[in-house]
Amino acid sequence: MSAPHTMLDKLWTAHEVLQREDGVSLLWVDRHLVHEGSHHAFAKIKERGLTVAEPDLTFAIVDHYAPTRGRSKIADPEISRMINTLRDNASGNSLRIYDLDDPRQGIVHVVGPEEGLTLPGLLINCGDSHTSTHDAFGALAFGIGATEVAHVLATQTVWQRKPKSMRITVEGTLGPGVSSKDIALGWIAKLGTDGAQGHAVEYAGTVIRGLSMEGRMTLCNLSIEGGARFGIIAPDETTFAYIQGRRFAPKVAAWEAACEYWCGLSSDEDAHFDREVVLDAAEIAPTVTWGTSPEQALPITASLPEVSNVPLSKVEAVSAALEYMGLKFGQKLEGTAVDQVFIGSCTNGRIEDLRAAALVLKGRTSKIPGFVSPGSAQVKAQAEAEGLDRIFTDAGLCWVASGCSMCVGMNGDLVGEGKRCASSTNRNFKGRQGRGARTHLMSPAMVAAAAVTGALTDVRIFLEGRV
Amino acid sequence: MAGWNTHKGRAVSLPQDNIDTDQLIPARFMSVPRVQGYGPYLMHDMRRDDAGDLKADFPLNAHDGASVLMVGRNFGSGSSREAAVYALVDAGIRAVIAPSFGDIFASNAVNNGLLPAQIDEVTYETLAQALGRSFLDIKIDLGTRSLQLGSVGANFLIDDSWAMKLINGWDDIDLTRNHRVAIAAFKNIRHQTTAWAWPNGAD
């Protein structure tokens, strides 16, 4: 019998081309996803006279700068230039591109799984820190910088030192109105934004097993906000059912072979993890962030800490965050007036997220403006088939096309200076949604509740009789 | 990229935790081609007031010519944008000293010749106190993983493979191309044994 292995061990070994004497591994990359932001990397390989080594394993997607309105004639020349650069790099290297008019366009971390490009057991890279989204399938997916993107383009491999392993186990049952977004914000608040630095997280436990693929992707997506480059979940029947029949997924005999292999990927029962964290689902409530770091999060029922309760070493940072956010020590979170809402992003732009928000908004009106940007054109079409778009527009929200949009603001979808936004996105950093913008992160259902009242609100009061 | 063994310069302290890459360079500047230089965008919104003028009391503005930054824990967390490193490097920064770094940032830094020097919290307190709001001479020795800040000496940590890369100015693509036979062999075996890992050819 060999020693027990973690899923990380198994995925790592399967991709290791070689290991140098200093312990750094050269890993084979099965899928490489590129977007407009990859322009630096394409410039780097072009400088050397190189082209993409494996065009069949490289997929280009327009998302970061994708306009969500007025696509046929882009007004901003900078945005046009960024998108055209990706088009040129894709055609110059014979890459498949998901362009603005493609019915399968969307955010890279939504499109990969949707297309069956994301599979268990694959190593997936993308020049984006939320690449851990794909880890929800039992893949080894992680975000890389531009130099590494250039390296993958040129060689289809990446150098990495194997991270330490950490398991976050969530046991029990989630209460109504509590989603995987709340699990994520909960553990990050508990452990800190650098709580999992240097580690590959594996999520486990009954609660994780009970999550849909959409829920798992939200959780894995947010791993980087707790410092982890990887956030993996073992594949199971839920995973296989999601993948089967998708466009690029294995078919027939290959499907059988793949499933058999995937079943062996889970961590062995007595595998050792460098760190173990166990969370009780019953303690997780609908959560909102109040500051300028994802770790500054509290249950919606809570009040901000009194200054006397903040550790001395953190008073300065907390004061600065509160000042930026226009909030006060001791203030109750619920009832804080909000100026606008945003539902979308690679974190919470999938069909289930839209359904959760629509469940709250059905037959109700939004007191404040806002918009809903589905995670992909396919999600948009599905939502329209289900009539969800009408629920949003009847409530007074704008229903727009897919892209990274107001999560990162590169396409011009910005929150105004000093404006407060209830947002289903992933980062509440200063200026993330626009200079001086005040972002509160929360689940899509919580965003919908904030829309209805025009203030931070506990979604549970709107779910009575609806769940 | 040129390697380096020692660096003599001047250090400035920015005693804040969690300076994320959105602070290092706001997203709106990231469409700029690198040849134009990213230095002017470094910490743009931290350094400038609403009118776009430099805040005189911001440490980096008060001390022109700093080449080493001393910062709080979790520096460079968040987005994988390598532009954050370009902004530091193009503004003349050669090393950042902190108790911890975002994983992707640290890797990006080394790929651009920028040293992410990790120190423990106690050393950080000592060095940050010695530096205060002043502007001190600093000498960094990569070989011995040590630094001298004014009259205070300290050691720092860095992954050995990263130190070698910084010292030699190695470029990964060149190194990897020496392994092309091993890569081709790996691909061949993977293709034979794990054919499902290739995208099933859709239209």
Structural domain includes residue A280: no
pLDDT in tens, A376-401: 999 999 999 999 999 999 999 999 99
Mean pLDDT of A251-273: 96
Contacts of A30 in chain B (CB under 8 A): 197
- Interchain CB contact of A69 with B (< 8 Å): no
- Residue A466: predicted pLDDT: 86
- Residue-range domains of chain B with CATH: 6-170 (3.20.19.10)
Assigned domain for A434 exists: yes
Establish if A1 belongs to a structural domain: no
Contact with chain B for residue A293, Cβ under 8 A:
yes
Question: Do B196 and A28 lie within an 8 Å CB cutoff?
Answer: no
Indicate which of A26, A118, A255 best probes the interface with B, i.e. most B CBs within 10 Å of its own CB: A26
| A44 shares its domain with A154 | yes
Instruction: Please state, for a pLDDT cut of 90, what percent of chain A lies above it.
Output: 97
Please tell me the distance from the alpha carbon of residue A58 to that of residue A249, in angstroms, as a whole number.
15
Please check whether residues A299 and A249 belong to one and the same domain. Answer: no
B180, closest residue in chain A (CA to CA): A155
Per-residue confidence at B91, pLDDT binned at 50, 70, 90? very high
| A97 touching B (Cβ < 8 Å) | no
**Chain A hits for B196, Cβ within 8 Å:** 119, 250, 254-255, 257-258, 261
Q: Residues A86-95: what's their mean pLDDT?
A: 98
Task: Encode A206-220: b = buried (16+ Cβ within 10 Å), e = exposed.
Answer: ebbeebbbbbbbbbb
Residue B202 has pLDDT above 70, yes or no: no
Q: What is the mean pLDDT of residues B16-32?
A: 95
| Residue A422 dihedral angles phi and psi, to the nearest 5° | -85, 120
Contact: A17, B160; criterion CB under 8 Å: no
Residues A201 and A342 in one domain: no
Confidence of residue B200 (pLDDT cuts 50, 70, 90): confident
The structure tokens listed for B17 are 């935790």
ipTM of the prediction? 0.96
Phi, psi values for residue A427, rounded to 5°:
-135, 130
pLDDT at A135 over 70: yes
Q: Are residue A261 and residue A301 in the same domain, yes or no?
A: no
Q: Which two tokens stand for residue A49?
A: 């006279």
Q: For residue A2, tell me if it sits in a domain.
A: no
Is the pLDDT reported for residue A2 higher than 80? no
* Number of structural domains in chain A: 2
Give contacts of A 375-414 with B, CB under 8 A: 408-410
Helix (H, G, I), strand (E, B) or coil at A193: coil
Distance CA A148, CA A45 (A): 11
Banded model confidence at residue B201, pLDDT cuts 50, 70, 90 = low
Average pLDDT of span B73-98: 97
Please indicate, yes or no, if residue A385 is contained in any of the structural domains.
Answer: yes
pLDDT in tens, A295-325: 999 999 999 999 999 999 899 999 999 999 9
The whole-number pLDDT of residue A137 equals 98
| pTM (global) more than 0.95 | yes
Q: What mean pLDDT is reported for chain B?
A: 95
Q: At residue A1, does pLDDT exceed 60?
A: no
- Over residues A66-85, the pLDDT tens digits come to 999 999 899 999 999 999 99
pLDDT tens per residue across span A445-462: 999 999 999 999 999 999
Residue A56, domain extent: 7-275
Cα atoms in the 13 Å half-sphere on the side-chain side of A63: 33
CATH value at residue A433: 3.30.499.10
Is the pLDDT at A436 greater than 80, yes or no?
A: yes
B1 pLDDT tier (thresholds 50, 70, 90):
confident
Is A182 among the domain residues? yes
Q: Are residues A250 and A391 located together in one domain of the fold? A: no
Same domain? For A234 and A376 the reply is no
Q: For residues A3 and B147, which has the higher predicted lDDT (pLDDT)?
A: B147
Residues sharing a CB contact under 8 Å with residue A420, sequence separation 6 or more, in sequence order: A325, A326, A336, A337, A338, A339, A340, A438, A440
pLDDT one-digit tens code per residue, B34-69: 999 999 999 999 999 988 899 999 999 998 899 999
Q: Residues, chain B, total?
A: 203
Residue-wise pLDDT for A191-207, tens only, equals 999 999 999 999 999 99
Measured between beta carbons, the chain B residues lying within 8 angstroms of A154 are 173, 176-177
The last residue of a domain, from among A242, A275, A308: A275
* Contact indicator for A126, A57 with CB cutoff of 8 Å: no
Residues A62 and A201 in one domain: yes
State the pLDDT confidence band at A402, using cuts at 50, 70 and 90.
Answer: very high
- Look at the block and give the residue holding tokens 């931070």: A456
The verdict on A44 and A123 lying in the same domain is: yes
Do A191 and A264 sit in the same domain of this protein? yes
Residues of A in Cβ contact (< 8 Å) with B112? 147
Taking only the tens place, the pLDDT of each residue in A16-70 is 999 999 999 999 999 999 999 999 999 999 999 999 999 999 999 999 999 999 9
Are A82 and A146 within one domain?
Answer: yes
- Tell whether the model's pLDDT for residue A120 goes beyond 70: yes
Which residue, of A275, A308, A339, is where some domain finishes? Answer: A275
> From residue A465, how far is each of A140, A176, A355, A452, A458 by CA, in Å?
41, 11, 16, 17, 15
